[in-house]
Structure 1
C-alpha cells in the first residue's frame, strides 16, 4: 500500500484556533512549544511540549491555550 505523508509546522497565538475540520487517514499533532488543546465534540485533550496527540477520526479543532508551535502530520 502506497501512503502519502504530509508534515506542516504550524504556530498559533494564545486564544487562536484552527477551524473545525476532518482529515482522511491518520493525523497527529506533535507539540513543539507552548500548550495546545485538541477538541473533538465533547472530548478534549491538552498537549505540552513533547506530547504527541492522535486525532480522532471525526471533526476536530486545535486551540492554542498558550502561544504554541506544533508539527501537524497526515498520512493517507
Structure 2
C-alpha cells in the first residue's frame, strides 16, 4: 500500500486519540480527517463516561461506532450503539455519551 497525504489511517489515529483523550480533562479528543465544501468526517475518541453535550443537529449526518459503545440521545429518545453500528444523527438537539472507551466517526453533510 502506498502512503498518500490524503489517506487517513483510521485505526492508528483511533488509538492515538484514545491515548490523548485519557490525558485530557474532558476525557475526549477529536481530529477532522476529511473536510470540504459539502462534507466533513471527524474521528472522535471518548473515554467511558465522557459526553458531548446536547447540541443542534446538522442538515444530515451519520455516526459510525468503530470501537466501544456509546449512547446517542435526544430529549425523548436514547439509542445504544455498539462497535460496527452506523446510525443517522437525529434531526433534533442531541448528545452523545460513552458507555465504554469508544471511537466514533462522525460524517456531516455541510449543505
TM-score of the two chains, using structure 2 as the length reference: 0.64
Structure 1 unaligned blocks of 5 or more: none
Q: Output the CA distance in 2 between the equivalents of 1:53 and 1:65.
A: 16
The equivalent residue for 2:81 is 47
Q: Which residue of 5, 9, 13 maps to 2:47?
A: 13
Q: RMSD in angstroms over aligned alpha carbons?
A: 1.1
The equivalent residue for 1:63 is 97
Q: Which residue of 49, 61, 78 maps to 1:27?
A: 61
Structure 2 unaligned blocks of 5 or more: 1-36
Higher relative contact order (CA 8 A, sep 6+): 1
- Structure 1 residue runs of 4+, over 3 Å off? none
Residue 18 of structure 1 aligns to a residue in which SS? strand
* Worse-superposed segment, 54-63 or 19-28: 19-28
